[in-house]
Each structure stands twice: as C-alpha cells, then as structure tokens.
Amino acid sequence: MAVRSPVINVMVRAAEKAARGLRRDFGEVEQLQVSRKGPADFVSAADLKADRVIREELGRARPDYGMLTEEHPETKAADGRHRWIVDPLDGTTNFLHGIPHWAISIGLEREGEVVAGVIYDVAKNELFLAEKGAGAWLNDRRLRVSGRRRLEEALLATGMAFKGRDKGADFLDQLAAATSQTAGVRRFGSAALDLAWVAAGRVDGYWERNLGPWDVAAGIVLVREAGGYVTEIEGPGRPESGASILAANDVLHRPLLRMLAGREARRPGEAAAP
C-alpha cells in the first residue's frame, strides 16, 4: 500500500522479525531430513520461537490488545475491542519437509470483525497486506481477485484430510464435483496462502473445513479488500471461526456455493431466486 497505517507497520515488523529466525531454521531442515531423529522436534521448536517473537513484538506495540495464537492460550483484551489472531507458521508440514511454501499470518480483529491482515510468504519474500477500506496489496502492487466468470475455467485450491484430522464424509463428494466441473483443484498446504492467492487472482476459489481462526483471519480481509467474497461453505455465517470457509470472486462465489453445498445458495444480503 502506498502509505502504511501505524497498525500495519506494527504487524509487518512483527512478521519480519519472526521471519528472520524461521528463514534460518528452514535452511537447517534439509540437513535434518537425513538424520535418524528427523526434523519434527526442530520444527516444533522453530514454530514456538516464532510465536514468542510475534507475541512479544505485538504486545510491546499494543499492550491493551488481546491475542489468540495457534501455539498459546488466548489473552483477553484490556481495551475490550481489539484482538490479534496469529499463526506463526502456517504450512508446518511443508516446512517440515523442506517445501518452500509456508507463511506467517497475523490478523487484527476489532469488535468481532477482522479489519487488517498481514501474510508473509518468507521463502518467496512476498508480503501480502490488507486493511479495511485501504485495499489489498502484494509488496507494492495492488491486488484484485481474478476476473474469470465461468466455473469450467476456474482453478480452485482446497485442504485435504490428513492423519488425525477428518474433513467429513462429504469432502470426497465436494472434491469429485470440483474436479469434474472446474479447470482443476490444487492442494498447496497453507490455508493463509490459499486465501492470499485468491486475493491475488492466482486461484479463482478456495474452500476448506475444520480450520482455526488463526488460519483464516488475515486471509479473509485480504480477499474482501481485493474484491472477493468470503462465507462459510453453507452460505452466510462466520467464516472467521475457520469451521468452514469458501472464498472466490463475486461471479464464481454463488456457483461454488451451489456446487459444494449441493443446494441453491445465495450471497449475504441477496434475495432468494423466485
């Protein structure tokens, strides 16, 4: 963004400070892959260290704000209005396997609404920023969701089930519908970056279930400020919870709701078809 607000500057500083440690740690992962113990404990420690750095940096700048992170119990807001929502390492499995697709995600919630977000793709040095009313940006470039209008031309992203995390019996039906009706489905392994890529127009839509608020908070404001729609998969609701989320441009959102939910659906505020 041309001029960053003070709160965006705080978020960027926290992300960049945590990124320095994660960048160094990521450089060690490839060597650990061949060890008998493996890199899992090392990556867990890297995740916790990044969490500590971000919490300290945000807490120093805005001591009255609450905080919810994936790795730490929630701290209530002294001012009763603001809450940071943080994932210090989104895409841990990618990081663990030496795949350079993971990010730091920081969102700011004000009175229940996410109003600012920073997603930092450290390996690619891509800094996604958004603030309510100020647009969405990648480094210094303004972002817009894609302009594709036909479902059969759309490329989608999703998250698939892995060990100990059941996506639900309907996921395979949704995946089958998506692969048969669109140009393709990709599973990249970072919910935050999936949402950032919807905002950047790299993918046309994204859906997933069983996430946490830290996975989606920053990405939600990015998509909305880039001109997209974000709802629950079932339609209007609170995608900020992470229970289910669908993000797309304004044209494809309703067809994707129908495809995934298996019924006629409508966007928030839109009347039912006669």
CATH C-level class of 6-142: alpha beta
Which architecture, in CATH terms, is 151-261? 3-Layer(aba) Sandwich (3.40)
The per-residue pLDDT for range 177-220, each reduced to its tens digit, is 999 999 999 999 999 999 999 999 999 999 999 999 999 999 99
Does residue 133 sit in helix, strand or coil?
A: coil
The domain spans of the chain are 6-142, 151-261
The structure's pTM equals 0.91
The per-residue pLDDT for range 46-75, each reduced to its tens digit, is 999 999 999 999 999 999 999 999 888 899
The runs of H, that is alpha helices, within the chain are: 6-32, 40-61, 92-96, 171-181, 191-199, 213-225, 253-261
Q: How confident is the model at residue 38, as a pLDDT?
A: 59
Nearest C-alpha neighbor of 178 from the set 252, 237, 230: 252
The per-residue pLDDT for range 79-99, each reduced to its tens digit, is 999 999 999 999 999 998 889
Q: How far is CA 274 from the centre of its chain?
A: 35
